Structure 1
Amino acid sequence: LYSYSFAPNPDWSATYASQPEILSYIQQVVRSSDCSDYIHLKQECVAAEWLDNELHWRVKLIDLESGQSYLRYTKVLVTAVGFCDVPKGADKIDGIKNFTGKVFHSARWDHSFDFSDKNVGVVGNGCSANQFISSLLDQTAIQSLVQFMRSPHWIAPKDNSQAKRLMAMVLRRVPFTNRLWRYWLAAKFDLAFPAFKSNRLGKLLRQRIQTSLANYIRRSTPQKYHHMLIPTFDFGAKRPVLDHGYLQSLHDPRVKLISTPSLSVVAPRELQSNNGDIFPADVLILANGFETQQLLTPMKITGLRGAELPALWQQSEKYASAYMGVCVSGFPNLFLLTGPNTLPSGHSTLVGIECSVEYITRLMSRFLDNHSSKVKFEVKAEAQDSFNTLLQSKLQRLIYTSDVSSWYMDKRTGKNTLIWPGSQVEFWYSRCVKSVNWTDFVIETRG
């Protein structure tokens, strides 16, 4: 499910492939699809403006290698920037400007840095920290590692078994088995969806899951950390984390886990927790997440009557929302991938992205067939509002709107702006099978 449906790969080495293997797979798909000529890397889109007289978009980009800016014009603009594309900074660490050691975000890893004999500070304990801490301990000769956490996560065991040779041979040689295996995995993930509901069955399922995971955390970690690591909130209220060897790494004598709501720099190479304890640090790795509630940032997209995204979503009583997660009223011929409320519940994001691509393709086929005409395609404001009112009401029946600090939630409005409030089968059906409601759109054609 973390590969493309149109490019199945029977040769994965393990249940969860490594970054080099995934990169190699993507490069192979690019080569086999002959699409490399259409991909331009290290180009940043900084702004786009809808020109209503010409009925097209003017897009400003910057070549990140040369620093030169340039313009492109297009009938249709599709954003595909993802949720986790803008890492959070260190601005919430008091006195961070006085820190003279190395600072970088885990998503912007500095591979040139030598960790030998270094005191390492890690901020955060979500998925990113879980993924790199054990590898850092195994692959480098660090002096010490202090991890500063603010709140716990439900951590589940990760079954990363090696692929069986017989299984790979069957997937490669027997027709349709790769696709059938994919369907089985998709169904398996969707069967977990009832656990995210707020009803009696959902509560019962979560209690069983929480008991199992709490026992796993206790078995895997030193007793002194149990009270820090076992959450008191419901499973699913925050994104669950798969254990990449992190829990066992807490037994390493070089490691300290500190629970603190705040952190400050008190000397060029020293960090202080809120209770006054001081820790040496030569390098600070930020694993504090991403600006998930600032979709499309730092781009500025200007639509009709000077309306701007993402600024429009940040106005009073507004929040990130779109029709079917892909169209925004006032922004003609603009389509979003990984738009608001398209993140699946415990499922592969790639599956959701492919469904959105199919839906966008269905919409575009309505007006791109006539190449000689200029077309303005826009969702009606009332259709967008109605869609999101229903969507938010469905979210109220799920665990995702719990009063827990989560990157799913817009703290300003209390709205969940990321999660799709249904199963992935429902998402697929609504985008790929169900008839498009063309009355929700306004289509203007000029010769």
Structure 2
Amino acid sequence: MSVTLTHESQQNPEKFRVPFKVANRVLGPNQTIPHNEKLKPLKTSSKVLIIGAGFGGMAAVISTLEKLKEPDVMVFERLDNFGGTWYANTYPGIACDIPALWYSFSFELTNNWSRVQPPGHEIEEYILRVADKYKLREKTRFSTSVEKLEYDDSSATWKITAHDVATGRKIIHTANIVLSCQGALVCPRQLEVDGLENFKGKYMHSAIFDHSVDFKNKNVIVVGNGCSANQLIPSLLSEKYNVKSINQIVRAKHYIAPPVPWILFYLYKALAFSRIGLLLVRWLVVLVAESRFPMYKGDGLLARIVRYINTRSAVNYMKTAPAKYHDILIPDFKIGCKRIIFDYNYIPSLHDPRINLQNERISKVVEDGVILQNGDHIKADIIVACTGYDISKNFLSNFDIIGRNKTNIKELWTKESPTAYRTMLIKDCPNFYMIDGPNIATGHSSVVMALENALNYYAKTAKPILQGKAKSMVVKTEAYYDWFNSVQKELKRSIFGTAFGGCVSWYGDDNLNATTYPWSQLSFWKITKYPNYNDIVYENNDKKNM
């Protein structure tokens, strides 16, 4: 099956992005979820509850309906529409950072993407088309913020407490199975610097972009040098926004690779007439990406060869920027230690005389701009923080989980570390799955493929519960800790934010990495397709272990 886009998002992008007030209320620095105790609590139930309506949540509903043949499923979503990060993030220039043919559902490919890495509003259009096709609105309660999950051992059910973000009405929901499908790149990490409250101009985070602000002929400071800034800056320099100047505060270095080869798009267009053709191009992208995986592990001959090829490609491309910026831009750590940025137009934009790069830290914000640590005063009308996301809030960001034996998962993870068996199952939490959980991310692959793989595991292991053959399913405690130890041991050999990699990144540090998966996506497909039933316990069944 395939989806053909109307490209309405090209003409009316505002229809495919979250209203600023909604995003700011739910995700902003002063986010508030009202509690109105005067309204009678709403009591609901379903066999399956899914938290989040982005790629993961949508795929989870479809898996429940199509693979498990279970119609009694409900979705709770904080925002007022589908899309997750692609609905919430709307800054100018936002685009898919890998080929969209891979960053889309394998069961709903698209035959008319406008480019290899389409803009964010086009991704959102695709998401809404899929949601309509599978009638997911009938299963979704929007503007609903989950606050607490509590497991009842006697009934083997979860009690979910939530609130309507508009009215404050409490919602008490009961479910046999819960899937947390909250994404990582949603909760913005705000700029933390002295004096920000004194700034008389306009401050915003790129993840909660205020499109009502006029950028024309304005002096702008962009803080950050990651993927968001890489995509935003060329747009601000464009005729539409036409800023007077941009001072970019480069806080860290990143490898910026050349754009995806143009020939891929021509191949895609040539074969887009059939699903088989689309799958061939998709798997070509997968194979090329997987072939780069050796550079993320160890220092063997193959790893060094692949790492050298990719490093030289990125460095040679970055050297096409003005020579005065080379020392600011080009890293000295191993490629892949931070996520690689595939450029679209950032490096060429650095030749624009209106932009200036700074690698001095901000000392403080003043009424008309910022003071750098070297004493320079940079005036600004607008400050845009491209400072990334609070990844720690990805895991149980806005709700508590109280599992079996009153185990508080936030307290457990604070004491030990965030982890989940095969990225999905948590100790003392029967019938609970994390889709997009700890250590599911990769530096070279598509998160959508990883989500689909995780949902294959869910569909296989949850089936006995939904069929009534088992009361509950939980990972064995020893398997939970064995998984954590093996993952962290393997990550020590990897380059993701480690001393071996030579950098500090949001992936993790030398002590702990709760973000990235240490093996290839092929290995993740294998362990999710073939569950190890010896590591999990089914209760109230003829067989204790299945």
TM-score by length of 1: 0.92
Q: Quote the offset at 1:212 in angstroms.
A: 2.6
Pick from 88, 92, 101: which aligns with 2:201? Answer: 101
Aligned 8 A contact 1:395 1:401 in 2: no
Deviation at 1:284, TM superposition (A): 1.4
From 425, 429, 433, the equivalent of 2:526 is 429
In the alignment, the residues of structure 2 paired with residue 170 and residue 251 of structure 1 have an alpha-carbon distance, to the nearest angstrom, of 37
For 2:147, the aligned partner's letter is V
Gaps of 5+ in 1: none
1:346-383 Cα offsets, whole Å, 9 max, x none, are 01110000000110111101222018x7x232111101
Does residue 512 of structure 2 align to residue 415 of structure 1? yes
Aligned counterparts of 2:388 and 2:181: Cα–Cα separation in 1: 19
Q: Secondary structure of the residue that 2:249 maps to in structure 1?
A: strand
**Which residue number corresponds to residue 314 of structure 1?**
414
Q: Deviations over 1:21-59 (max 9, x none)?
A: 211111111122222211233322222221223321111
Bigger mean CA offset, 65-74 vs 416-425: 65-74
67-76 or 130-139: which moved more? Answer: 67-76
Does the 8 Å contact 1:88/1:289 carry over to 2? yes
Tell me the equivalent position of 1:327: 425
CA distance in 2, matches of 1:95, 1:19: 33
Deviations 1:394-425 (A, max 9, x none): 2222222523210000x5x7211111111111
Question: Which one of the candidate residues 176, 179, 185 is aligned to 2:276?
Answer: 176
Aligned to 1:71: 172
Query: Is 1:14–1:162's contact at 8 Å kept on the other side of the alignment?
Result: no
Aligned to 1:154: 255
Q: Which letter maps to 1:168?
A: K
**126-135 or 23-32, larger mean C-alpha shift:** 23-32
Given the alignment, which residue of 196, 211, 223 partners 2:296? 196
Question: Does the 8 Å contact 2:423/2:440 carry over to 1?
Answer: yes
Please say if residues 497 and 504 of structure 2, whose CA atoms lie closer than 8 Å, have aligned partners that are also in contact: no
Superposed CA RMSD in Å reads 2.1
Select which of 371, 376, 392 maps to 1:277. Answer: 376
Contact 1:123 1:288 in 2 (8 A): yes
SS in 2 for 1:145: strand
Is the partner of 1:384 in helix, strand or coil?
Answer: helix
User: How has the CA–CA distance of structure 1 residues 100 and 305 changed in structure 2, closer, same or farther, with 3 Å as cutoff?
Assistant: farther
CA distance in 2, matches of 1:18, 1:241: 15
Correspondences of 1:276-355 after superposition (within 5 Å): 276-294=375-393, 295-315=395-415, 318-355=416-453
Letter in 2 for 1:364: A
1:258-288 superposed Cα distances (whole Å, 9 cap, x missing partner)? 10244411x2122011111111122211111
Q: Is the 8 A contact 2:362 2:370 kept in 1?
A: no
Where does residue 214 of structure 1 map in the other structure?
A: 315
Share of identical aligned residues, percent? 30
Asked whether the 8 Å contact 2:338–2:497 carries over to 1, the reply is: no
Select which of 359, 377, 388 maps to 2:473. 377
Query: Residues 419 and 252 of structure 1: is their aligned pair in 2 closer, same or farther, counting only changes over 3 Å?
Result: same
1:53 alignment partner, SS class: coil
Partner of 1:47: 148
Instruction: Give 2:467's aligned amino acid.
Output: D
Equivalent of residue 362 in structure 1, options 418, 438, 460: 460
- Number of residue pairs matched? 435
Aligned to 2:94: none
- TM-score by length of structure 2 reads 0.76
| Corresponding residue number in structure 1 for 2:78 | none
Specify the alignment match of 1:17 in structure 2: 118
CA contact (8 A) 2:289 2:445 kept: yes
CA distance in 1, matches of 2:429, 2:382: 44
Q: Say which SS state the counterpart of residue 443 (structure 2) adopts.
A: coil
Paired amino acid for 1:439? N
Q: Give unpaired runs (5+ residues) of structure 2.
A: 1-101, 542-546
C-alpha separation between the residues in 2 aligned to 1:68 and 1:287?
34
The answer to whether the 8 A contact 1:345-1:424 is kept is no
Q: Is the 8 A contact 2:268 2:278 kept in 1?
A: no
**After TM superposition, where is structure 1 displaced by more than 4 Å over at least 4 residues in a row?**
162-167
> CA shift at 1:160, angstroms?
6.6
In the alignment, the residues of structure 2 paired with residue 163 and residue 181 of structure 1 have an alpha-carbon distance, to the nearest angstrom, of 8
